[in-house]
Chain A
């Protein structure tokens, strides 16, 4: 034991084995990221999971946004208990059979922010990132996901979150980068694409444009919501794939607030159709021949 008896190296190795053992039963690990905040990552994650599950895939979601968890709410399982079983933590299931794990399920009250126990909060920046990476690793490795086709991992804003996930999952099936068609959004998103490409390879990176257009509820007239640059062109320029566009639809936000995925609640809307199209594009993206 090279570290004076603590076996730290072997403890770290055990953690990696534990993680890889769990991940081995999951065919496609998919990260949903942006770098930019509030662009619709969680909304997309919850609806993609629902669309994939309705299409017969075994899908689960992991809310990797520890400080601003949203998936339990968006999928209507906020109050559901996590159970402690022989195979790990049993996550609740949202219809139609989506396993959901979120920090929200561990926090005491709505208003309770995530706080770590520490002798003092002074200087917590020194260790906070390590604690969060350890928490994310446990979420991945200690949840009884079972055999899955898709595990969708919803990241918090910030490009640093991409590196943290890549250190835990050096290989993933897809990294979906969500952007708005605005220069401000793309300014950050380009950084995320560069990072995701470096960490996982350009072949797994795909861009989704959210709030792409707006359809008038009264007359059905469709218009662009933002006049910014085209996201498909940005993806092309950066050598990554483009997986589709989602229009702006207030119903999508209302459904998220109610805890029901829009793809199941308003099947006939163009927005739900667009979400299903992105799910189909994702499916072919991860299943394409190498």
Chain B
């Protein structure tokens, strides 16, 4: 896959890879000629598909290790250095020996049980044990606004709960404004006035992320 800058007819260069946030990666490309930038977001399935091809987004930065793919991808593999029958293969953990940001992050994402959750990095829309317990008497708009759908509510009428703001901060900075806008749009369309982690989760599902 390659991205072309339509204006300059130049192949765009990979600038940075960020994530994973719930198995999703954000990859930023820039045109060397005009500086135009595009962000590509992958959902967990797309991340996994690239991973399954055993190629590294961003290129390799270290030599290939024997059976590096199998060892890093096996969910039920023998532990290195374990009991008698264990293979004497060094384990390739989430941080893959290639040092490739993509593979390491993709592996880390995959390590996380139940789709997604990393310690200290809860999924957008998931409750995080390290955070204060949610208010048992939530404010308006929680989880479904009792007022019903209010189509096209201007963004000024939408509020973000502190929890939701915190979650948004975990999204890579360069795509945050776009995510903010999409979630606000979703919230308005669905009649929410307060954006909570639950609303974010719902939006995520609707966006296929």
Interface-central residue, B22, B76, B90, by most chain A CB under 10 Å: B76
Residue of chain B at shortest CB distance from A136: B70
Given the known interface contacts A83-B87, A106-B87, the answer about A4 and B2 at a Cβ–Cβ threshold of 8 Å is: yes
Contact A6 B78 (CB under 8 A): no
Given A5-B14, A115-B76, A127-B48, do A79 and B70 touch, yes or no (CB 8 Å)? no
0 or 1 for each of A173-199: is its CB under 8 Å from B? (1 = yes): 000000000000000000000000000
Q: Which residues of B contact A14 (CB under 8 A)?
A: 64
The verdict on A8 contacting B55 (CB below 8 Å), with A89-B66, A119-B48, A126-B49 known, is yes
What residues of chain B lie closer than 8 Å to A106, measured between beta carbons? 70-71, 74, 77-78, 87
> Interface code A251-282, partner B: CB below 8 Å = 1, 0 otherwise?
00000000000000000000000000000000
Q: How far is the CA of A3 from the CA of B58 in the complex (A)?
A: 9
Q: CB of B121 within 8 A of chain A?
A: no
CA distance in complex: A239, B110 (Å): 48
Kindly report which residue of chain A lies nearest to residue B107, judged by CB atoms.
A117
Candidates B56, B64, B68, B111; contact of A117 at CB < 8 Å: B111
Residues of A within 8 A of B55 (CB): 6, 8, 11-12
The count of A-to-B residue pairs whose CB atoms sit within 8 angstroms is: 154
Q: Check if A55 is an interface residue, CB within 8 A of chain B.
A: no
Name the contact of A107 in the complex, choosing from B51, B76, B107, B111 (C-beta under 8 A).
Answer: B76
Q: Out of B47, B53, B77, which one reaches A134, CB within 8 Å?
A: B53
- Which residues of B44-99 have CB atoms within 8 Å of chain A's CB atoms? 44-45, 47-49, 51-60, 64, 66-79, 84-90
Chain A contacts of B68 at CB under 8 A? 138
B74 contacts which of A7, A116, A130, A134 (Cβ < 8 Å)? A116
CB atoms of A3 and B1 under 8 A apart: yes
Closest residue of chain B to A130 (Cβ to Cβ) is B52
A114 to B13 alpha-carbon distance, docked (Å):
37
Complexed CA–CA distance, A150 and B57 (Å) = 37
Cβ of B41 within 8 Å of any chain A Cβ, yes or no, is: no
The smallest C-beta distance from A117 to any residue of chain B, in angstroms, reads: 4
User: Is the CB–CB distance between B112 and A115 below 8 Å?
Assistant: no
Check B70 against A4 for contact (C-beta < 8 Å): no
- 6 closest Cβ contacts across the A-B interface? A119-B23, A5-B14, A117-B110, A127-B52, A130-B52, A131-B52
A-B pairs with beta carbons under 8 Å apart, 12 shown = A5-B13, A79-B84, A82-B88, A106-B70, A114-B74, A118-B44, A119-B109, A119-B112, A120-B114, A130-B52, A135-B70, A142-B66
Q: Contact residues of B with A, CB < 8 Å?
A: 1-3, 11-14, 20, 22-23, 29, 44-45, 47-49, 51-60, 64, 66-79, 84-90, 107, 109-112, 114-116
